[in-house]
């Protein structure tokens, strides 16, 4: 790398080097003091994770990335006092997070929120966890131990050229701690009024000088909630158990290997599944619950050459089995992913990659719910190329494109161009234009749902549309990061998104007369709508001193949908405008009363929404947490959640199967002990 | 990366050009050290050590102190960074930095020793009597009776704490500090 000078000049070089050092020592840089002071507002937890050489990776990636990025650290997670992944995401500007019941959440970025919202790519250590059946995440089935998470990187806006289809409105990458960082034991647990009991044990050991292994076992039991009227129990209690291991090995100076395995078992209630039958009663509604098991195995091999080539090979295999009254499913998914970063050439930094995905599923259809064909296999392949070009003094241009071939829709392309300008240390501005696609999912392509229209005795049959095309997004974004002082910064992003060929669900107008069920309305799905959205996201970080940190975020958005007003729509054609709060605010305070005692507060405001004919009023809510470290290896905490009212609804859902409930005030006590 | 290097070398265009080339080549060889437009001559490691010392002032408890003076004994790059703490407030105490070649140990609450030789029996006794937190970044410091030793592990700063020495000087370290430290009992 350093063979830049010919050999006979080494002596001269050495001399000049020493001369430089001497000059530097004589006149020590004047901003030594100033730049050192920039570190002083950091909390102890933030300080102790910083790298000695270079900036911390996360800090750097956020500050220099030409995208709306936000990083949640393990410290943020611990001090939020929460027990599930979606709750953690509430602190991110631009993220919509609404709880439907104990196990179901509506989580999305930049609007389009719904149960199983489909425009968000979510990964754990690079393995996608969104479900190919609905292209959304079943959050109740993703219960990694929060203590094992090192950080969560959230990217709002499209990043399809890097992460592929469905990375449309955002990408979330959950990065777990390496086995090397989790040596020894950790016993944790707690319980409360809503989170009735949870606990886990982790142990990490050293297999050899460069190989580490850890395992975690955890479980959760949640109480039932209360319905939207406020008098009926929604029976959404249930439990999940998860086992996880991770192995990290430095195979050689140049090679790193990681293997991770996960098995989750979940038994959850609160699904008012209806069952249609050819004999009376033709329709019976009951809570049959959901029973399932998901297992995954993944590995990654990173190789770095002396000449600066960086290759990354990832593979994962996921098996999911569901046992529902209306349908059983067994599905296997395999992903192979290769990525190669080339050494910088002139002012170009090139990166390219290939990926292959196979999804093979098998359903046991019933009269109520079926997927045609019952057995189906999809093969998807993609290739991407990205060039990051340093222009002039302080401009960076990033051009990228991904071309993919899908079994459902054929060839698709997801190009983007991003420009970053960093005129000085205080300001960085960026702009981006990107195209992204939402792939039709298995449900849209093959579902057959036969049940009564919610709230009536009339049956309908919703059938899939095998001709469904991708939903296409063209996004324009602008961003500005301003470091006002060493302890104060503001991050702002603006977006204008145009979504073409958006899905809509409508009654076809055909009414089939059935000898048993009478008149059956027919409904279908298709690319019937056009939606535009624009919005503003802002986050402010203020470190009053190293014991007190404040973080505020604001998001505002507006939607405009165009559709045929003469059609009888099955689902609200103005869903985007109705389902998404116009304004959202979050204000967090992380305060150390003493080095051992922490007092944290988190207030949120969410504007009113209107979901499936149900009005959800605006709400203010407040969480408080008191943490205490009586011993270096013991942490105790007590949190109160949703303290400002007895209960409030956050979302509703009548079409799908979970029953919507209100979110009740809750208290939870937690402990964690390292040994 | 090095474009914003301040004009410390004004001695002729040729020297400037050579130095520039040289600095660029150094930057080229060690891309990991350089970051953004930060000055390459500023050591991140010593910046971090300075910030750690600032936190020690809060995470340690002295039996009876109304002041907070951090002293450095011997020649160490930390001398260039520590003045960043001068005048800062911790627990209602104003931090003072003492870099004089000669000083009385009882003036210091935290004393950074640049060399292991400085950790003499006399020094340990004085530290005990005057409740001085002894810190260093030299190898073997904690095992030889020093209180907090900086060490590098996986590109991060780690601490080795000799708890017996800390207690002998009637000092207390917060569990928060001890949580991330390796402890020699």
Tell me the pLDDT of chain A averaged across its residues: 89
Minimum Cα–Cα distance from A42: chain B residue? B51
Touching A: B residues 144-173, CB under 8 Å: 152, 154-157
Q: Are residues B176 and B96 in the same domain?
A: yes
Query: Distance between CA atoms of A292 and A426, rounded to whole angstroms?
Result: 51
Nearest CB to B54 within list A27, A33, A40: A40
Q: A2 to chain B: which residues are within 8 Å by CB?
A: 25, 28-29
Q: Do A40 and B175 touch (CB under 8 A)?
A: no
Per-residue pLDDT reduced to its tens digit, A438-466? 999 999 999 999 988 877 888 999 999 99
Cα dist. A178→A144, A181, B48, B162 in Å? 14, 5, 23, 28
Q: Are residues B63 and B141 in the same domain?
A: yes
Q: Are residues B5 and B69 in the same domain?
A: no
Q: Are residues B19 and B103 in the same domain?
A: no
Per-residue pLDDT reduced to its tens digit, B110-136? 999 999 999 999 999 999 999 999 999
Nearest CB to A24 within list B41, B157, B178: B41
Touching A: B residues 55-94, CB under 8 Å: 55, 58-59, 80-81, 83-85, 88
Q: B23 to chain A: which residues are within 8 Å by CB?
A: 20
Distance from CA of B179 to the nearest CA of A (A): 5
Nearest CB to A595 within list B51, B58, B155: B58
Q: Do B42 and A29 touch (CB under 8 A)?
A: yes
Query: Which of A17-26, A82-91, A230-239, A251-260 bottoms out in mean pLDDT, i.e. has the lowest?
Result: A17-26
- The highest-level CATH class for domain A44-674 is mainly beta
Distance from CA of B18 to the nearest CA of A (A): 8
Q: Catalogue the E-assigned strands of A157-269.
A: 170-176, 184-192, 195-208, 211-222, 226-227, 238-250, 255-268
Q: Are residues B98 and B36 in the same domain?
A: no
pLDDT band (50, 70, 90) for residue B5:
very low
Query: Distance between CA atoms of A664 and A345, rounded to whole angstroms?
Result: 57
What's the 3-state SS for A593-653? Answer: EECCEEEEEEEEEECCEEECCEEECCEEEEEEEEEEEEECCEEEEEEEECCCCCEEECCCC
Q: Do B48 and A39 touch (CB under 8 A)?
A: yes
Whether residue A25 has pLDDT greater than 60? no
Query: Distance between CA atoms of A508 and A502, rounded to whole angstroms?
Result: 17
Q: B157 to chain A: which residues are within 8 Å by CB?
A: 48, 50, 52
Test mutation, A11, A34, A36, A49, chain B, max B CBs within 10 A:
A36
Touching A: B residues 105-124, CB under 8 Å: none
Q: Are residues B28 and B57 in the same domain?
A: no
Whether residue A82 has pLDDT greater than 90? yes
Distance from CA of A164 to the nearest CA of B (A): 29
Nearest CB to B19 within list A1, A20, A633: A20
Nearest CB to B42 within list A32, A42, A47: A32
More confident residue, A659 or A397: A397
Q: In which domain, by residue range, is B1 found?
A: 1-42
pLDDT score, position B25: 37
Distance from CA of A629 to the nearest CA of B (A): 7
Answer for the pair A590, A578: CB distance below 8 angstroms, yes or no.
no
Q: Are residues B115 and B69 in the same domain?
A: yes
Test mutation, A1, A78, A343, A595, chain B, max B CBs within 10 A:
A595
Answer for the pair A396, A431: CB distance below 8 angstroms, yes or no.
no
Nearest CB to A54 within list B3, B33, B152: B33
Whether residue A24 has pLDDT greater than 50? no
Distance from CA of A633 to the nearest CA of B (A): 6
Answer for the pair A383, A401: CB distance below 8 angstroms, yes or no.
no
pLDDT score, position A175: 93
Q: B25 to chain A: which residues are within 8 Å by CB?
A: 2, 4-5, 13
| Residue A181 token pair | 């960082």
Q: Do B154 and A630 touch (CB under 8 A)?
A: no
Minimum Cα–Cα distance from B47: chain A residue? A36
Q: Indicate which CATH number applies to the domain containing B98.
A: 3.40.50
pLDDT band (50, 70, 90) for residue A1:
very low
What's the 3-state SS for chain B? Answer: CCCCCCCCCCCCHHHHHHHHHHHHHHHHHCCCCCCCCCCCCCCHHHHHHHHHHHHHHHHEECCCCCCEEEEEECCCCHHHHHHHHCCCEECCEEEEEECCCCCCHHHCCEEEECCHHHCCHHHHHHHHHHCCEEEECCCCCCCCCCCEEEEEECCEEEEEEEHHHHHHCCCEECHHHHHCEEEEC
Q: Looking at residue A146, what DSSP letter applies?
A: G
Whether residue A66 has pLDDT greater than 70? yes
Distance from CA of A56 to the nearest CA of B (A): 10
Q: Does B24 touch chain A (CB under 8 A)?
A: no
Whether residue A661 has pLDDT greater than 80? yes
Distance from CA of B122 to the nearest CA of A (A): 31
Distance from CA of B136 to the nearest CA of A (A): 17
Q: Are residues B28 and B51 in the same domain?
A: no
Q: Do B29 and A28 touch (CB under 8 A)?
A: no
Q: Are residues B106 and B83 in the same domain?
A: yes
Q: Do A28 and B157 touch (CB under 8 A)?
A: no
pLDDT band (50, 70, 90) for residue A353:
very high
Query: Distance between CA atoms of A473 and B82, rounded to whole angstroms?
Result: 52
Query: Distance between CA atoms of B91 and A594, rounded to whole angstroms?
Result: 10
Q: Are residues B37 and B55 in the same domain?
A: no
Distance from CA of B105 to the nearest CA of A (A): 25
Q: Are residues B72 and B134 in the same domain?
A: yes
pTM (2 d.p.): 0.86
Q: A31 to chain B: which residues are within 8 Å by CB?
A: 6, 39, 42
pLDDT band (50, 70, 90) for residue B23:
very low
Q: A422 to chain B: which residues are within 8 Å by CB?
A: 37
Minimum Cα–Cα distance from A36: chain B residue? B47
Q: Does B178 touch chain A (CB under 8 A)?
A: yes
Q: A184 to chain B: which residues are within 8 Å by CB?
A: none
pLDDT band (50, 70, 90) for residue A612:
confident
Q: Are residues B38 and B94 in the same domain?
A: no
Q: Do B36 and A51 touch (CB under 8 A)?
A: no
pLDDT score, position A656: 56
pLDDT band (50, 70, 90) for residue A101:
confident
Per-residue pLDDT reduced to its tens digit, A117-150? 889 999 999 999 989 999 999 998 999 999 999 9
pLDDT band (50, 70, 90) for residue A155:
very high
Whether residue A368 has pLDDT greater than 80? yes
pLDDT score, position A183: 92
Answer for the pair A624, A609: CB distance below 8 angstroms, yes or no.
no
Where are the domains positioned within chain A?
44-674
Count how many domains chain B has.
Answer: 2
Nearest CB to A33 within list B26, B32, B83: B83
Q: What are phi and psi of A89, to 5 degrees?
A: -70, -10
Q: Do B54 and A546 touch (CB under 8 A)?
A: yes
Q: What is the mean pLDDT of residues A354-370?
A: 94
């Amino acid at each position: 790398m350093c063979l830049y000078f010919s050999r006979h000049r080494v002596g001269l070089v050495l001399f000049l080097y020493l001369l430089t050092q001497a000059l530097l020592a004589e006149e020590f840089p004047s901003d030594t003091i100033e730049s050192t002071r920039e570190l002083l507002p950091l909390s102890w937890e933030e300080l102790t994770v910083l790298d000695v050489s270079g900036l911390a990776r996360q800090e750097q990636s956020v500050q220099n990335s030409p995208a709306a990025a936000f990083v949640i650290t393990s410290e943020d997670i611990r001090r939020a006092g929460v027990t599930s992944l979606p709750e953690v995401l509430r602190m991110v500007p631009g993220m919509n997070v609404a709880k439907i019941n104990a196990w179901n959440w509506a989580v999305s970025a930049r609007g389009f929120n719904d149960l199983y919202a489909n425009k968000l790519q979510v990964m754990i250590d690079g393995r996608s966890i969104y479900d190919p059946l609905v292209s959304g995440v079943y959050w109740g089935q993703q219960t990694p131990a929060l203590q094992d998470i090192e950080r969560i990187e959230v990217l709002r806006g499209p990043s399809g050229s890097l992460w592929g289809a469905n990375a449309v409105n955002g990408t979330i990458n959950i990065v777990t701690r390496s086995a090397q960082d989790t040596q020894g034991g950790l016993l944790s647990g707690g319980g409360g009024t809503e989170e009735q009991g949870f606990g886990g044990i982790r142990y990490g050991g050293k297999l050899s000088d460069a190989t580490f292994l850890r395992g975690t076992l955890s479980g959760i039991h949640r109480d039932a909630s209360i319905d939207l009227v406020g008098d009926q129990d929604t029976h959404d209690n249930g439990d999940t158990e998860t086992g996880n291991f991770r192995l990290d090995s430095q195979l050689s100076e140049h090679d790193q290997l990681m293997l991770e395995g996960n098995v989750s078992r979940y038994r959850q209630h609160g699904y008012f599944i209806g069952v249609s039958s050819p004999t009376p009663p033709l329709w019976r509604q009951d809570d049959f619950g959901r029973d399932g098991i998901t297992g995954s195995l993944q590995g990654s091999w990173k190789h770095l050459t002396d000449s600066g080539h960086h290759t990354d090979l990832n593979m994962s295999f996921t098996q999911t089995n569901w046992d529902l009254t209306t349908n059983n499913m067994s599905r296997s998914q395999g992903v192979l992913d290769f990525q190669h970063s080339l050494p910088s050439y002139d002012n170009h930094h090139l990166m390219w990659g290939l990926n292959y995905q196979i999804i093979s599923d098998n359903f046991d259809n019933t009269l109520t719910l079926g997927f045609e064909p019952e057995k189906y296999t999809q093969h998807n392949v993609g290739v991407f190329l990205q060039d990051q070009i340093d222009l002039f003094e302080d401009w960076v241009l990033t051009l990228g494109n991904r071309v993919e071939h899908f079994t459902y829709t054929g060839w698709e392309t997801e190009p983007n161009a991003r420009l970053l300008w960093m005129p000085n240390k205080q300001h960085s501005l960026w702009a981006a234009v990107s195209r992204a696609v939402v792939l039709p999912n298995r449900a849209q392509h093959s579902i057959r749902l036969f049940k009564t229209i919610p709230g009536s005795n009339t049956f309908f049959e919703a059938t899939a549309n095998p001709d469904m095309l991708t939903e296409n997004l063209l996004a324009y974004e602008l961003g500005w990061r301003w470091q006002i002082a060493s302890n104060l910064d503001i991050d702002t992003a603006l977006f204008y998104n145009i979504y073409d060929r958006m899905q809509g669900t409508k009654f076809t107008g055909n009414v089939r007369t059935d000898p048993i069920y009478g008149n059956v309305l027919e409904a279908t799905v298709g690319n019937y709508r056009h939606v535009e959205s624009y919005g503003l996201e802002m986050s402010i970080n203020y470190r009053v001193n190293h014991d007190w940190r404040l973080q505020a975020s604001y998001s505002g958005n507006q939607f405009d949908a165009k559709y045929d007003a003469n059609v009888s729509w099955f689902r609200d054609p103005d869903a985007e405008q109705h389902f998404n709060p116009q304004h959202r605010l979050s204000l967090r305070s992380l305060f150390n009363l003493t080095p051992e005692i922490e007092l944290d507060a988190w207030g949120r405001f969410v504007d009113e929404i209107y979901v499936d004919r149900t009005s959800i009023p605006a709400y203010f809510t407040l969480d408080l947490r008191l943490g205490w470290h009586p011993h270096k290896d013991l942490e105790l905490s007590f949190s109160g959640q949703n303290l400002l009212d007895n209960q409030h609804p956050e979302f509703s859902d009548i079409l799908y199967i979970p029953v919507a409930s209100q979110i009740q005030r809750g208290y939870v006590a937690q402990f964690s002990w390292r040994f | 990366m090095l474009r914003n290097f301040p004009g410390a070398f004004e001695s002729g265009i040729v020297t400037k050009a050579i130095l520039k080339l040289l600095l660029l080549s150094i930057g080229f060889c060690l891309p990991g050290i350089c970051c953004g437009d930060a000055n390459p001559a500023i050591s991140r490691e010593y910046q971090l050590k300075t910030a750690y010392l600032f936190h020690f002032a809060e995470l340690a408890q002295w039996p009876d102190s109304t002041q907070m003076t951090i002293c450095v004994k011997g020649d160490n790059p930390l001398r260039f960074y520590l003045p960043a703490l001068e005048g800062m407030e911790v627990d209602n105490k104003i931090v003072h930095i003492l870099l004089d070649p000669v000083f009385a140990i009882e003036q210091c609450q935290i004393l950074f020793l640049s060399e292991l030789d400085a950790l003499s029996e006399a020094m340990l006794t004085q530290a005990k009597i005057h409740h001085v937190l002894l810190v260093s970044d030299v190898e073997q410091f904690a095992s030889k009776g020093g209180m907090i030793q900086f060490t590098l592990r996986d590109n991060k700063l780690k601490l080795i704490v000799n708890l017996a020495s800390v207690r002998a000087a009637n000092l207390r370290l917060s569990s928060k500090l001890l949580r991330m430290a390796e402890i020699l009992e």
